[in-house]
Chain A
Amino acid sequence: DTAVSQTPKYLVTQMGNDKSIKCEQNLGHDTMYWYKQDSKKFLKIMFSYNNKELIINETVPNRFSPKSPDKAHLNLHINSLELGDSAVYFCASSQGLAVYTGELFFGEGSRLTVL
């Protein structure tokens, strides 16, 4: 059983389209995250939810909207995709805030390519 699973793993789409990436964790964690990894491998946090409540909302275009229907799921919807949105998006989870435990559990990533 995969602890943190993301779908789809690969996504190729045209500029201007809307797309979603889904994430589910079966670890019983109460905190989930979305990270963006660019082509230079730089990893930047986008959002974090704790018990379905948004606790971190970095400077991200409002075309990106996270949704957490329950503690085990955190989805990412992106409107009006742009070329610069091409990246690998990682979902992660932790029990409590990861800054204290460092125990972030990552999914395998979703590679988004915008043409």
Chain B
Amino acid sequence: AQSVTQLGSHVSVSEGALVLLRCNYSSSVPPYLFWYVQYPNQGLQLLLKYTTGATLVKGINGFEAEFKKSETSFHLTKPSAHMSDAAEYFCAVSGRSDSSGSARQLTFGSGTQLTVLP
């Protein structure tokens, strides 16, 4: 079984402030972890991913995330928010599906809406 919990469905930050979006996961196998971003009226785009190796991963647009196994977390951060960062952010984990049981697949969290205030 696998699941993703994103704490805070809405996060607001001022332009130039630190962005921190929280993600905790549960997985019965070593996880692969991902962050996706969805801009209004668009599909999701991959921001960054962790599969193996270095636990601090860097993605596009200055975002990074750190895999912490002991905390089962994969929080997304950016040192300085920009207006263009306003979007919905989704954390995802890979693992075996509860129902299919035959293929690994991605399970998405419920998303966090990031608002950047001027």
Contacts and interface: CB of A to CB of B under 8 A. Distances in A.
Interface of A: 4, 40-45, 48, 55-59, 90, 92, 97-109
Nearest to A111: B41
A76 B59 CA distance: 32
B43 A92 contact: yes
Q: Which size bracket describes the interface of B in this complex?
A: 20 to 34
B89 to A, nearest CB: 10
B51 A102 contact: yes
Contacts, number: 77
A45 B111 CA distance: 15
A25 to B, nearest CB: 12
Contacts of B95: 99
B45 to A, nearest CB: 7
Contacts of A109: 41-43
A102 B43 contact: no
Given A41-B88, A102-B94, 17 more contacts: A4-B43, A40-B110, A41-B111, A42-B110, A43-B108, A43-B111, A58-B99, A99-B94, A99-B95, A99-B103, A100-B32, A100-B104, A102-B32, A102-B106, A104-B36, A104-B44, A104-B106
Contact of A56 (B42, B90, B97): B97
Contacts of B32: 99-100, 102
A99 B30 CA distance: 12
A102 B108 contact: no
A5 B60 CA distance: 23
B12 interface: no
Contacts of B94: 98-100, 102
